[in-house]
């Protein structure tokens, strides 16, 4: 057995396959088997079988097969090397050292010699890690000195217990002592101290008079520091290490080495804004909390979170800055979206951050807030309403700006299904938000005119025609012709359209086809529909005299007018059919069982029918 094979077997023996899969699915036991809904395809009955003994899985629905490593590669998008490193860290298995090829060095006198460049590089990095560890220990030691009594008092005022101080290795950088001098006495060179960001180019300590928070990599090694000011006149309030060979802000999260060990299917990563927020969350039992390091949230951050869990939660402060930060994160998610992965946003009350909220209201109330987290679509929607100062009374110009901003994000989504559903969701939000005001205005008009059946969009010809229709399915043809000529409406009326009943086969098939596709133009729809065999259906819809009976359904009609006309036809014809069906069912119910409840329901239906007949 090769050295690599030996390592992979050790990992499989230490980590059950279900432990790797559990964040992404729920298991069921059937006899001696473990099954789940397959994460690689949509299914209603579980066909994904897991064998913990062999360390393999197999889906009898789609044929997907693999083990610990292939799942993280196929489902999580990791390379084999990333999956190997990730699982080795979880299992506590030491990976074999790489054995690079020796390089040839030619001396000044022309002699050849071999040296190991990688070993030399690793030795240098080990030296830097040692320096950072020594610095963390020095800061911790200084927090315990008499000179740091005021700092300890500050930590006590923040209700931070000693176990949290020790867990996160909080320290103190005194203003009148030099870390650089202390490490130089231990053998550190000035160039190395500058390289790892402990001292500046002019030789002075980078951190002075600050509360110190070590920043660690995924293995728990100190790679940088964050320093918090201890006086109001000290600027900036938070100072982080500069970028170094060990530290890249865009790929590191504060407390990741603690948090990722606590992530399970039930406990997703929780992203907050600051060090103290993270520490307080861990103190209250929310041990999956992490924070970015004073920089904009990056693509790497999101990918790292998704490698651990498919649905991390972002919880930012309740002030305007926190809401703007959440909105910025939400905006940058769209190009990265893929099936099975999403994000949620938890918003705290105004003026609260996780630290203050937990200490005021406790763990239970904070858990309730997390359970009410908002989706990505909702966060972006309300973010733009706030940013653009959009109200229900928005002008067409303002609506256009909002619509274009939303659709720009939709266009950034790579997966076609996700793109379609986000477009549909935003269109629904757009209609429902502005239609509330339209309905209020319409109701006011109804009260003054006494007419509640039709909007001015419906002509008298179509009203009379709809009342006479019996067998030629004209209402359905008008609805489908409207969508054929205005394909962008499909996502807005999808939920209503699928409820159209009693259609002949050709119209029903065309209706289903429209529901399953997305079209960007009339020409695109027609071209694709002909390929699918809908030539005759298209011809029958083209034969309608839309100009006379339903001008709103014609090509080129403004979207809102076409939509309102579509809804009026639906309400006039199909809603009436639904009431009539309910009437038939209610009569049958009354014959078999007459009681007070069924009688009240019958009276309500009669009221609707009488109102409809009078109008």
The mean per-residue pLDDT over the stretch 364-382 comes to 92
Q: CA torsion 505→510→514→519, rounded to 10°?
A: 170
**Inter-helix orientation angle 474-485/559-569, to 10°:** 160
Confidence band of 329 (pLDDT split at 50, 70, 90): very high
Q: Give dist(CA 531, CA 453) in Å, integer.
A: 40
Least confident of 246-250, 335-339, 564-568: 564-568
- As given in the structure block, the two tokens for residue 419 are 């793109």
| Alpha carbon distances (Å) from 557 to 118, 399, 479, 496, 521 | 68, 17, 14, 21, 13
Name which residue leads in pLDDT, 232 or 186: 186
Using one digit for the tens of pLDDT, what is the confidence trace for 515-561?
777 777 888 888 888 988 999 899 988 888 887 788 888 888 877 78
Residue 24's pLDDT is 84
Indicate whether 348 pLDDT > 70.
yes
Residue 144's pLDDT is 96
Residue 588's pLDDT is 60
Residue 579's pLDDT is 55
| Alpha carbon distances (Å) from 545 to 330, 465, 478, 541, 542 | 47, 12, 10, 9, 8
Name which residue leads in pLDDT, 436 or 199: 199
Residue 289's pLDDT is 97
Q: Give dist(CA 243, CA 206) in Å, integer.
A: 13
Residue 607's pLDDT is 59
Least confident of 90-99, 312-321, 482-491, 527-536: 90-99
Residue 457's pLDDT is 45
Which residue intervals of the chain bear CATH 3.90.980.10? 121-247
Indicate whether 324 pLDDT > 50.
yes
Confidence band of 615 (pLDDT split at 50, 70, 90): very low
Name which residue leads in pLDDT, 514 or 17: 17
| Alpha carbon distances (Å) from 226 to 69, 98, 167, 357 | 35, 33, 16, 23
CA torsion through residues 526, 530, 534, 535, sign: positive
Could you tell me what percent of the chain has a pLDDT over 70?
81
Using one digit for the tens of pLDDT, what is the confidence trace for 272-286?
998 999 999 999 999
Q: Which CATH architecture has domain 3-91?
A: Alpha-Beta Complex (3.90)
Residue 574's pLDDT is 60
Could you tell me what percent of the chain has a pLDDT over 90?
37
The mean per-residue pLDDT over the stretch 194-214 comes to 95
Residue 72's pLDDT is 86
- As given in the structure block, the two tokens for residue 581 are 């069906």
Residue 469's pLDDT is 44
The mean per-residue pLDDT over the stretch 323-332 comes to 91
Q: Which CATH architecture has domain 121-247?
A: Alpha-Beta Complex (3.90)
The mean per-residue pLDDT over the stretch 42-62 comes to 87
The mean per-residue pLDDT over the stretch 219-229 comes to 94
Indicate whether 223 pLDDT > 50.
yes
Nearest to 434 by CA among 396, 381, 393: 393
Residue 449's pLDDT is 38
The mean per-residue pLDDT over the stretch 563-571 comes to 80
Q: What is the pTM of this model?
A: 0.62
The DSSP call for residue 314 is E
Residue 613's pLDDT is 44
Using one digit for the tens of pLDDT, what is the confidence trace for 25-42?
888 888 778 999 988 887
Residue 344's pLDDT is 95
**Inter-helix orientation angle 376-387/416-449, to 10°:** 60
Q: Give dist(CA 296, CA 325) in Å, integer.
A: 8
The mean per-residue pLDDT over the stretch 454-475 comes to 51
Indicate whether 356 pLDDT > 90.
yes
| Alpha carbon distances (Å) from 21 to 61, 168, 428, 510, 558 | 18, 29, 35, 40, 49
Which residue intervals of the chain bear CATH 1.10.860.10? 460-614
Which residue intervals of the chain bear CATH 3.90.580.10? 3-91
Exposed, middle or buried, 146 (CB in 10 Å: 0-12/13-18/19+)? exposed
Residue 461's pLDDT is 46
The mean per-residue pLDDT over the stretch 88-100 comes to 76
Q: Give dist(CA 263, CA 289) in Å, integer.
A: 9
Using one digit for the tens of pLDDT, what is the confidence trace for 134-164?
999 999 999 999 999 999 999 999 999 999 9
> Does residue 554 contact residue 547 with C-beta atoms inside 8 Å?
yes
Indicate whether 450 pLDDT > 60.
no
Query: Which fold, 460-614?
Result: DNAb Helicase; Chain A (1.10.860)
Q: What is the chain's mean pLDDT, rounded?
A: 82
């Amino acid at each position: 057995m090769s050295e690599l094979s030996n390592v992979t077997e050790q990992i499989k023996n230490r980590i059950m396959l279900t432990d790797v899969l559990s964040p992404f699915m729920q298991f069921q036991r059937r006899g001696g088997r473990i099954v789940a809904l397959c994460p690689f395809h949509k299914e209603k009955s579980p066909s994904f079988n897991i064998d913990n003994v062999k360390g393999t899985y197999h889906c009898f629905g789609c044929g997907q097969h693999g083990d610990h490593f292939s799942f993280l590669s196929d489902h999580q998008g990791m390379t084999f090397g990333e999956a190997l490193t990730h699982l080795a860290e979880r299992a506590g298995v030491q990976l074999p050292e790489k054995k690079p090829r020796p390089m040839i060095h030619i001396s000044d006198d022309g002699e050849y010699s071999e040296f190991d460049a990688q070993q030399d590089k690793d030795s240098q990095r080990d030296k830097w890690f040692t320096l950072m560890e020594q610095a963390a220990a020095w800061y911790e030691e200084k927090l315990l000195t008499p000179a740091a009594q005021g700092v300890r008092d500050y930590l006590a005022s923040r209700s931070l217990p000693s176990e949290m101080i020790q867990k996160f290795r909080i320290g103190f950088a005194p203003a009148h002592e030099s870390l650089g001098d202390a490490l130089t006495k231990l053998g550190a060179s000035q160039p190395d101290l500058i390289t790892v960001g402990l001292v500046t180019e002019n030789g002075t300590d980078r951190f002075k008079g600050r509360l110190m928070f070590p920043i660690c990599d995924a293995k728990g090694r100190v790679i940088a520091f964050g320093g918090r000011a201890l006086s109001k006149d000290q600027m900036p309030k938070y100072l982080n290490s500069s970028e170094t060979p060990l530290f890249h802000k865009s790929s590191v999260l504060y407390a990741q080495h603690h948090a990722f060990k606590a992530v399970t299917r039930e406990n997703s990563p929780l992203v907050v804004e600051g060090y103290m927020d993270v520490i307080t969350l861990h103190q209250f039992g929310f041990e999956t909390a992490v924070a970015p390091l004073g920089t904009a949230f990056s693509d790497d951050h999101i990918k790292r979170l998704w490698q651990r869990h498919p649905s991390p939660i972002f919880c930012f402060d309740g002030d305007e800055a926190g809401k703007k930060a959440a909105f910025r994160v939400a905006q940058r998610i769209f190009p990265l979206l893929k099936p099975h992965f999403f994000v949620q946003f938890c918003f705290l009350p105004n003026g609260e951050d996780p630290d203050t909220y937990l200490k005021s209201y406790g763990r239970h109330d904070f858990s309730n807030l997390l359970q009410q987290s908002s989706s990505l679509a909702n966060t972006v929607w309300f973010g733009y309403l706030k940013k653009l100062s959009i109200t229900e009374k928005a002008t067409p110009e303002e609506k256009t700006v909002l619509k274009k901003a939303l659709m720009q994000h939709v266009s950034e989504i790579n997966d076609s299904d996700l793109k379609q559903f986000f477009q549909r969701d935003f269109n629904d939000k757009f209609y429902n938000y502005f239609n509330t005001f339209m309905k209020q205005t319409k109701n006011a008009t109804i009260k003054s005119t006494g007419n509640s059946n039709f909007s001015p969009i419906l002509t008298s010809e179509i009203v009379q025609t709809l009342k006479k229709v019996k067998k030629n399915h004209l209402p359905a043809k008008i609805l489908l012709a409207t969508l054929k000529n205005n394909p962008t409406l499909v996502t807005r009326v999808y939920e209503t359209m699928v409820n159209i009943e009693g259609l002949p086969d050709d119209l029903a098939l065309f209706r289903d086809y429209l529901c399953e596709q997305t079209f960007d133009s009339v020409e695109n729809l027609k071209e694709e529909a002909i390929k699918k065999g809908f030539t005759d259906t298209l011809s029958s819809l083209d034969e309608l005299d839309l100009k006379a009976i339903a001008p709103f359904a014609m090509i080129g009609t403004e979207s809102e007018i076409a939509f309102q006309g579509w809804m009026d036809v639906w309400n006039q014809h199909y809603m009436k059919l639904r009431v009539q069906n309910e009437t038939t069912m209610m009569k049958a119910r009354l014959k078999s069982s007459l009681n007070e409840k069924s009688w009240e329901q019958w009276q309500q239906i009669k009221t609707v029918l009488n109102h409809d007949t009078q109008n």
